Structure 1
Amino acid sequence: MKSNAWKIILILALAIGLTGLAFTSGVALGYVAPRFFTDSGEAPPLELAFPQIASGDDIAPDNKADRQELIAPFWEAWDILQNQYVDQPLDDNTLMRGAIRGLVDSLEDPHTSYMDPDEYLQANLPLNGEYEGIGAWVDSEAEYLTIIATMPGSPAEAAGLKSGDWVVAVDGEDVTGMDPSLVIRRVLGPAGTSVRLSIRREGLPSPFEVEIIRQKIDLPSVESEMLEDNIAYVRLLTFGADTAGDLKRALKELLREDPVGLILDLRGNGGGFLNSAVDVASEFIPEGVILIERLGDGEEKIYQARSRGSATEIELVVLINGGTASASEIVAGAIQDHARGTVVGETSFGKGSVQNWVELADNEGAIRVTIARWYTPDDRLIHGIGLSPDVEVLIPESGLDEGEDPQLDQAIEILLGEAVPNR
């Protein structure tokens, strides 16, 4: 790989207005945040412990003779097609790239994929000038670009997009089979311009279209206030480089009021930096494991609680929903496993894996491969499953009237002793 190295970040945010950024992993369509790497070679503010992954040239088979024997039927099939297929001549590169796609698809992992040279080049083209978006956390590692959550007050929220929605066409162009990292580029654009999305939603018989006017999205990472009955409330909207520090300052102000309890709202939080998630969890968990990071060969890295937190003793309720993903799930899962607080709401999104792009030799594109998964302190897998709340409070599909929030109401009742948490 290139020396400006793919620094793996647990993040669901897209850098806007920075040039030379590769579009990989989950992103936020319209939120300024660092990405995997920049052409300048500068590392992101917070990096994970993964070393540089070897490129395809450096991965040698354990036994070349056995490998050749194993793939002999492949070459037999190749020769049959070259000699007998009706439409001749066949293009060797097309066959080779199709074979790579088949190899990757056989894993049945939507997060592991192949980009041919043209696709990979498009994904790494710089964005010149200032680009904004629709204001939605998205998963760009699934079969389709998938909405995780909309940001408060964003165009995506106004358009009625929901967690789990698939983007199946952009401006009338079907994106089936297109890598979601490339779909992102079609959704981005300057503020004031429009984009037309075709959305497939579970339970609906056919896709529907929405037209969205792009905007510049300003999103604070921490919001806090004192609620009635002397209850402290903190909402985290993302896990950025400054989130842990902002949270510590917010907690300091709230705890001066001597609250009877604290509500940590992680609903609609699509994630962010892993280090930020560990620091945030450490504000509520005095000691012990926060996260287990496990690679395919069984190697593990254990993330422990750091320093003395500000709110390790106050009674705590955590709110989650289907838009709670990635870094948010790490925090909620750690609090839940340590029995440090009660988790209320709906099952979370279930995003807890790391992907890395490995460039192939001779500029033949790249393979995105899942290299690790995250587990809670009690060794629970998050990815594809999500976290189940201790107390489930479902929001009806029809939505809520303005001012209604039964999940928040349940959290308040628990802190006031009016409801018994189910642990």
Structure 2
Amino acid sequence: MKSNAWKIILILALAIGLTGLAFTSGVALGYVAPRFFTDSGEAPPLELAFPQIASGDDIAPDNKADRQELIAPFWEAWDILQNQYVDQPLDDNTLMRGAIRGLVDSLEDPHTSYMDPDEYLQANLPLNGEYEGIGAWVDSEAEYLTIIATMPGSPAEAAGLKSGDWVVAVDGEDVTSMDPSLVIRRVLGPAGTSVRLSIRREGLPSPFEVEIIRQKIDLPSVESEMLEDNIAYVRLLTFGADTAGDLKRALKELLREDPVGLILDLRGNGGGFLNSAVDVASEFIPEGVILIERLGDGEEKIYQARSRGSATEIELVVLINGGTASASEIVAGAIQDHARGTVVGETSFGKGSVQNWVELADNEGAIRVTIARWYTPDDRLIHGIGLSPDVEVLIPESGLDEGEDPQLDQAIEILLGEAVPNR
């Protein structure tokens, strides 16, 4: 049930649309359309990011001839349908779009898909800047809309949604054949209104339904406090444009207390902007590689730690779980590979692929195509696998009593020298 992309955070809120999501939807999560970003977080023009695919003018004549010969059976099939199919006339646009969809589906990659003009228009409808929804990070790149994590105190959390849940119906309508980015639109809605979701969960014989009242979502990206025993605690809830700056300010305040150690909590963090992840990791890693990004042709880009961070020497424990995805996996993976801290908790979500949206000519929709995968500094691919913690602390399916947090307890014990990390 695992899949991603470049995080995407997708907050199910009216403020986030396809073009506003990044490394994820994360959608979000942040974003819904994963793509390459400049240092400012903006997507460069396609012809700058991928000049080799911006046009077909550079295709050698021999290759063009080969392509024409290869596609000859397609045109033969086209003519057969046009001349012999019983229900005439056929719509050329319908045939053409069906052919594109079949071409894309032949790759058997749930992250690569085609949207026809109407679907793409719906997915890019401008939103109103209001944060109203169910409060969940979702993976819009999987075969079905998949819950990555619920936001603390959100309606989704109250409804009992969990990482890995599939949304298979919305308000009684089956959405398993619908592009996940469009399913998101069905889930969105004003605060105070309800939405009925049918959920399929691994281990259960059949789907179950939950009714959720949407509400305004107010989610700070950074929470921090001093715990007992002089331990600093920072929780990152997303990787937005302001997260790195907010983290730097929080660390400055915490380090004034001269803590014995620091806990970085990435549990339930569905991801966000790539550059934010690199900046956050740089606060804890003084130098070296943060991640490696590889395209299909073997070209790679290496992201290095940036300006010296403020917490590069303090003893560090990182908390992860199944809701830790994409950008947060970049940070946890870099800290783990550099042996900069101990990773505690459960295996992360496993989001390590990169997608790009390419609009087709003449407003004929768009193709979302997997163009790259990212690797940790030690060249580990975590896509579909996840990061394994140094110290595994599982949470029972039955849940925990209020106030219980064995993963946090384990982190505190490690920092106090009462437990030995298994590295």
Same fold (TM over 0.5): yes
Summarize deviations over 1:295-353 as a string: whole Å, max 9, x none: 22221111111111111111111000000011100000000000001111111111122
Hey, what's the Cα distance between the residues in 2 that align with 1:54 and 1:340? 41
Q: Are the aligned partners of 1:148 and 1:325 in contact in 2 as well (CA < 8 Å)?
A: yes
1:275 aligns with: 275
Q: Return the offset for 1:413.
A: 1.3
Q: Relative to 1, partners in 2 of residues 1:392 and 1:23: Cα closer, same or farther, differing over 3 Å?
A: closer
Q: Return the offset for 1:50.
A: 7.4
Hey, what's the Cα distance between the residues in 2 that align with 1:178 and 1:125? 17
Hey, what's the Cα distance between the residues in 2 that align with 1:392 and 1:231? 21
Structure 1 stretch displaced more, 129-138 or 247-256: 129-138
Q: Are the aligned partners of 2:350 and 2:384 in contact in 1 as well (CA < 8 Å)?
A: yes
Q: Are the aligned partners of 2:22 and 2:30 in contact in 1 as well (CA < 8 Å)?
A: no
Q: Return the offset for 1:73.
A: 2.3
Hey, what's the Cα distance between the residues in 2 that align with 1:17 and 1:75? 38
Q: Are the aligned partners of 1:354 and 1:372 in contact in 2 as well (CA < 8 Å)?
A: yes
Q: Relative to 1, partners in 2 of residues 1:345 and 1:416: Cα closer, same or farther, differing over 3 Å?
A: same
Q: Relative to 1, partners in 2 of residues 1:6 and 1:137: Cα closer, same or farther, differing over 3 Å?
A: closer
Q: Return the offset for 1:30.
A: 11
Summarize deviations over 1:232-260 as a string: whole Å, max 9, x none: 11111111111111111111221122221
TM-score of the superposed pair, with normalisation by structure 2: 0.88
Structure 1 stretch displaced more, 34-43 or 161-170: 34-43
Structure 1 stretch displaced more, 18-27 or 339-348: 18-27
Q: Are the aligned partners of 2:7 and 2:29 in contact in 1 as well (CA < 8 Å)?
A: no
Structure 1 stretch displaced more, 127-136 or 212-221: 127-136
Q: Are the aligned partners of 1:172 and 1:196 in contact in 2 as well (CA < 8 Å)?
A: yes
Q: Any idea what SS the aligned residue of 2:60 has?
A: coil
Q: Return the offset for 1:198.
A: 0.9
Q: Are the aligned partners of 1:23 and 1:124 in contact in 2 as well (CA < 8 Å)?
A: no
Q: Are the aligned partners of 1:116 and 1:366 in contact in 2 as well (CA < 8 Å)?
A: yes
Structure 1 stretch displaced more, 334-343 or 22-31: 22-31
Structure 1 stretch displaced more, 266-275 or 250-259: 250-259
Hey, what's the Cα distance between the residues in 2 that align with 1:398 and 1:12? 26
Summarize deviations over 1:173-224 as a string: whole Å, max 9, x none: 1112111111111111111111111111111111111111111111111111
Summarize deviations over 1:73-92 as a string: whole Å, max 9, x none: 22233333334444444333
Q: Relative to 1, partners in 2 of residues 1:272 and 1:325: Cα closer, same or farther, differing over 3 Å?
A: same
Q: Return the offset for 1:261.
A: 1.1
Q: Return the offset for 1:375.
A: 0.9
Q: Relative to 1, partners in 2 of residues 1:251 and 1:10: Cα closer, same or farther, differing over 3 Å?
A: same
Q: Relative to 1, partners in 2 of residues 1:26 and 1:282: Cα closer, same or farther, differing over 3 Å?
A: closer
2:148 aligns with: 148
Structure 1 stretch displaced more, 264-273 or 367-376: 367-376
Q: Relative to 1, partners in 2 of residues 1:326 and 1:4: Cα closer, same or farther, differing over 3 Å?
A: closer
Structure 1 stretch displaced more, 52-61 or 147-156: 52-61
Q: Return the offset for 1:41.
A: 13
Q: Return the offset for 1:26.
A: 3.8
- What stretches of structure 1 of length at least 5 have no aligned partner? none
Q: CA RMSD in A?
A: 5.0
Q: Are the aligned partners of 2:8 and 2:29 in contact in 1 as well (CA < 8 Å)?
A: no
Q: Relative to 1, partners in 2 of residues 1:222 and 1:4: Cα closer, same or farther, differing over 3 Å?
A: closer
Q: Any idea what SS the aligned residue of 1:96 has?
A: helix
Hey, what's the Cα distance between the residues in 1 that align with 2:262 and 2:342? 11
Q: Relative to 1, partners in 2 of residues 1:277 and 1:3: Cα closer, same or farther, differing over 3 Å?
A: closer
Hey, what's the Cα distance between the residues in 1 that align with 2:36 and 2:330? 20
Q: Return the offset for 1:10.
A: 11
Hey, what's the Cα distance between the residues in 1 that align with 2:99 and 2:313? 56
Q: Relative to 1, partners in 2 of residues 1:255 and 1:131: Cα closer, same or farther, differing over 3 Å?
A: closer
Structure 1 stretch displaced more, 233-242 or 47-56: 47-56
Q: Return the offset for 1:51.
A: 7.9
Q: Relative to 1, partners in 2 of residues 1:331 and 1:26: Cα closer, same or farther, differing over 3 Å?
A: closer
Hey, what's the Cα distance between the residues in 2 that align with 1:6 and 1:418? 37
Structure with larger RCO (C-alpha < 8 A, sep 6+): 2
Q: Any idea what SS the aligned residue of 2:404 has?
A: coil
Q: Are the aligned partners of 2:352 and 2:383 in contact in 1 as well (CA < 8 Å)?
A: yes
Q: Are the aligned partners of 2:17 and 2:123 in contact in 1 as well (CA < 8 Å)?
A: no
Q: Any idea what SS the aligned residue of 2:197 has?
A: strand
Q: Relative to 1, partners in 2 of residues 1:257 and 1:31: Cα closer, same or farther, differing over 3 Å?
A: farther
- What stretches of structure 2 of length at least 5 have no aligned partner? none
Structure 1 stretch displaced more, 62-71 or 373-382: 62-71
Q: Any idea what SS the aligned residue of 2:306 has?
A: coil
Hey, what's the Cα distance between the residues in 1 that align with 2:22 and 2:344? 36
Q: Relative to 1, partners in 2 of residues 1:61 and 1:222: Cα closer, same or farther, differing over 3 Å?
A: farther
Hey, what's the Cα distance between the residues in 2 that align with 1:47 and 1:154? 41
